[in-house]
Amino acid sequence: AQSVAQPEDQVNVAEGNPLTVKCTYSVSGNPYLFWYVQYPNRGLQFLLKYITGDNLVKGSYGFEAEFNKSQTSFHLKKPSALVSDSALYFCAVRWGDDKIIFGKGTRLHILP
């Protein structure tokens, strides 16, 4: 069955340190991969996506993610975390029939 896994419910990072939020997927065919962010009391916002081409994609707010086909992963990264990055992050995958499913989300806490 098609699935998306975010193995960490919560990630804590000190401000200024690099951050990684993990995502792995299991789909048949070639997936489209996405990251979305949900700030407190706000709607879900698109961060970045991978469709094809360069495995490293850059998105909003200095975030980037690397598509790794052999490891079926699409981890979200940022070189230097800000307190304002604290939010709930969702990984999502779309495949052949255009259905899009999401992981359970990872709550990111950036500690001042």
Interaction of residue 95 with other proteins, rule CB under 8 A: no
Distance between start and end Cα atoms, the chain = 40
Three-class SS of 8-34: CCEEEEECCCCEEECCEEECCCCCEEE
Q: Of residues 7-46, which lie at the interface with other proteins (CB under 8 A)?
A: 32, 34, 36, 42-46
Pick one of 7, 10, 39, 51: the residue that binds other proteins (CB under 8 A). 51
CA–CA separation, 94 and 102 (whole Å):
9
**Cβ proximity to other proteins, 51 vs 56, nearer residue:** 51
Task: Give residues in contact with other proteins (CB under 8 A).
Answer: 6, 32, 34, 36, 42-46, 49, 51, 90, 92, 94, 97-105
